Amino acid sequence: MPYNLGKKFEERFETDFSKIENATCDRLKDVMGRYKYISNVSDYICYIYPNQFYIELKSHKGNTFPLTNLTQYDDLVKKVGIKGVRVGVIVWFSEHDKVTYTPIAEVRRMKEDGKKSINIKYLETQEYKMYEIPSKKLRVFMESDYSVLLNLKEGE
């Protein structure tokens, strides 16, 4: 079986997120067989008082993550506006050694603006809200400090 960096990134996320005091994080198991009408809302549901997080994780080479690869979008966007709920996508831009968080409300805005991808340049241009997760490079993966997610505002 080939080495799957995406699955290993998910394991790394769980390890790093769990370092936050009083944090809990549950991995939603992948649906086997790709049943047409069965899917999970996100990869992880995490909780740190008083916020619940729906987190979808993606790893990607290159500068742009195609929004067509965010198949959970419709389920995630339904969570926007619920008090105490934070919903977003974390992308590991592996060729850039950067881990980012983009609120799903911003992804919705990107789609409304006709954008087809999440571009790493949004970190610099701030055209859309996109947050860099403080990380340090290990041999292959990044060790990340997800405590910055505690500073998210309502709707992020």
* pLDDT > 70? residue 76: yes
Tell me the pLDDT tens digit for each residue of 13-33. Answer: 999 999 999 999 999 976 655
- The answer to whether position 107 is within a domain reads yes
- The answer to whether position 153 is within a domain reads no
CB-based contacts of 99, cutoff 8 Å, min separation 6: 90, 91, 92, 93, 132, 133, 135, 142, 144
- The answer to whether position 155 is within a domain reads no
Tell me the pLDDT tens digit for each residue of 3-17. Answer: 567 788 898 999 999
Band of the pLDDT at 75, cuts 50, 70, 90? very high
For 73-90, give the DSSP string. Answer: HHHHHTTTT-TTEEEEEE
> Cα-atom radius of gyration of the chain, to the nearest Å?
15
| pLDDT of the residue at 139 | 83
- The answer to whether position 55 is within a domain reads yes
| pLDDT of the residue at 2 | 45
Instruction: Quote the domain boundaries for residue 131.
Output: 5-147
- The answer to whether position 91 is within a domain reads yes
If one counts the domains in the chain, the total is 1
Alpha carbon distance 30, 28 (integer Å): 6
- The answer to whether position 76 is within a domain reads yes
Q: Report the greatest alpha carbon distance in the chain.
A: 42
* pLDDT > 90? residue 63: yes
- The answer to whether position 54 is within a domain reads yes
Output the domain CATH number for residue 38.
Answer: 3.40.1350.10
Contact 40, 30 (CB under 8 A): yes
- The answer to whether position 93 is within a domain reads yes
